Amino acid sequence: MFTGIITNIGVVEKIKFSPKKDCLLAISIAEKILRKLEIGCSIACDGICLTLIKKEKNLLFFQASEETCAKTALKKWPIGKKINIEFALRVGDEFGGHIVSGHIDGCAKLKTFKAIKDSVAMTFELEKNAANLSKYIVEKGSICLNGTSLTINKTNRKSFAINVISHSLNNTNFAEIKVGDLVNVEIDLIARYVCKK
């Protein structure tokens, strides 16, 4: 389990897709990793819960399934892309965001980006294969974008708006986002179960 509070920024160093459409990837983390990472542990990479399969100093190796590649923005990650990293929540850690599982529901595309004083307003449009998520996206509710816990400001049928404060902007890969970029979307876990019939 995660909280959507980003602790590190990683960089995609290697990414290789197999004929079966799954992939192997390596992500480096420049900052000192302040916890022991065991092989098999879960790490959220741009919000995607991935299993650590190998570690060489600050280079972390993962395998992503065909389902993960198809459902997330990972399929478009270039070498050198910055990745939001969050290590799994431990008992006693501060719970600063909201409940995040790392199971991506789909993608959204950045449509508008506007600086407003000490924050940035962004509008995202759900991709066609994620259009059914709109019923879970409500004003003042939580959403996780690229692994970052955010509050929804406005919604309509296909799009939603958020604000990112300067601290979050400077400590996540939202500092480099451009109109047209895809982000990974995880809807709020509570909204998912409240809407379940």
Tokens representing residue 166 in the block: 């300067």
Count other C-beta atoms under 10 Å from residue 68's C-beta: 19
pLDDT digits (tens, 9 = 90+) for 112-121: 999 998 899 9
Residue 51: pLDDT above 80?
yes
Count of domains for the chain: 2
Secondary structure (3-state) at 44: strand
pLDDT digits (tens, 9 = 90+) for 124-156: 999 988 888 999 999 999 999 999 999 999 998
21 and 82 inside one domain:
yes
pLDDT of residue 50: 97
* Residue-level length of the chain: 197
DSSP character for 100? B
Q: Determine which helix (DSSP H) or strand (DSSP E) holds 193, and give its type and residue range.
A: helix 189-195
With cut-offs at 50, 70 and 90, classify the pLDDT of residue 192. Answer: confident
Would 3 be classed as within a structural domain?
Answer: no
With cut-offs at 50, 70 and 90, classify the pLDDT of residue 196. Answer: low
Residue span of the structural domain in which 160 resides: 106-195
Q: What type of residue sits at position 18?
A: S
In Å, what is the CA distance from 160 to each residue of 17, 67, 154, 187? 32, 25, 6, 12
The arithmetic mean of pLDDT across residues 95-114, rounded, is 92
Would 93 be classed as within a structural domain?
Answer: no
Q: What type of residue sits at position 161?
A: A
pLDDT digits (tens, 9 = 90+) for 57-70: 889 999 999 999 99
What residue has token string 């991709």? 127
129 and 76 inside one domain:
no
In percent, how much of the chain has pLDDT > 70? 98
Q: What do you get for the CA distance between the two ends of the chain, in Å? A: 25
pLDDT of residue 91: 73
pLDDT of residue 97: 81
Which comes out higher in pLDDT, residue 91 or 84?
84
The domain that holds 55 is classified in CATH as: 2.40.30.20
pLDDT of residue 90: 77
82 and 114 inside one domain:
no
